[in-house]
């Protein structure tokens, strides 16, 4: 995923720390090629990317699936409303293998939320899907002027583990 983001011209990553996406975030931090911005909430990260886009930077939002609920207002009123493209890389919660029952309702609703917002979402289930999906989603987002979501399925990531 880190290599695919770099090879598709991304320059900025705004994220809310996430256990599942931690390895990806560490790789991107260590590489140093992208501007990395840690946010306290998903809508803050989204706003940072929108500002980055207005300043000429191509961005990625990395967040946990449950953060989708937090980001809806900013997604609608800012990114979709002003046609600001970026990629959302979302670690799936509330689906296959979920141990925390409070994550299940939003996980179950996520596909319909994306559909209702007009945000195209693609689930990545196998490592070999990453590069072509990132490339296609990048063309779609920046060609259409809208965010595109990539969901790292629990089949791919192993999900968040019970501690």
d(CA 130, CA 115): 22
For 2-101+109-157, CATH number? Answer: 3.40.50.970
Q: Where are the domains of the chain?
A: 2-101+109-157
The band of 163, judged by pLDDT with boundaries at 50, 70 and 90, is low
Residues 6+ apart with CB under 8 A from 37: 12, 13, 14, 15, 45, 48
Percent of the chain scored above 70 by pLDDT? Answer: 96
Give the residue from 102, 117, 97, 110 showing the smallest Cα distance to 63. 110
State the number of CA atoms in the 13 A half-sphere of 62 facing the CB: 25
d(CA 44, CA 37): 10
pLDDT (tens digit, 9 = 90+) per residue, 58-84?
A: 999 999 988 999 999 999 999 999 999
pTM of the full structure: 0.93
pLDDT (tens digit, 9 = 90+) per residue, 87-135?
A: 999 988 767 777 778 887 788 889 999 999 999 999 999 999 999 999 9
| DSSP-assigned letter for residue 75 | I
Q: Is 83 exposed, middle or buried (0-12, 13-18, 19+ CB in 10 A)?
A: exposed
């Amino acid at each position: 995923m880190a290599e695919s983001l770099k090879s598709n011209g991304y320059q900025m990553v705004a994220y809310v720390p996430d256990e599942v996406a931690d390895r990806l975030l560490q790789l991107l931090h260590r590489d140093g090629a992208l501007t990395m911005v840690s946010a306290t909430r998903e809508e803050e990260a989204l706003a940072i990317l929108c500002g980055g886009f207005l300043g000429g930077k191509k961005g990625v939002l990395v967040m946990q699936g449950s953060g989708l609920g937090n980001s809806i207002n900013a997604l609608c009123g800012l990114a979709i409303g002003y046609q600001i493209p970026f990629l959302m890389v979302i670690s799936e919660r509330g689906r296959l293998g979920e141990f925390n029952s409070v994550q299940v309702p939003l996980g179950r609703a996520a596909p319909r939320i994306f559909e209702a917002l007009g945000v195209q979402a693609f689930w990545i289930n196998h490592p070999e899907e990453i590069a072509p999906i990132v490339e296609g989603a990048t063309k779609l987002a920046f060609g259409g002027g809208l965010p595109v979501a990539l969901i790292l399925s629990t089949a791919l990531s192993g999900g968040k583990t019970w501690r």
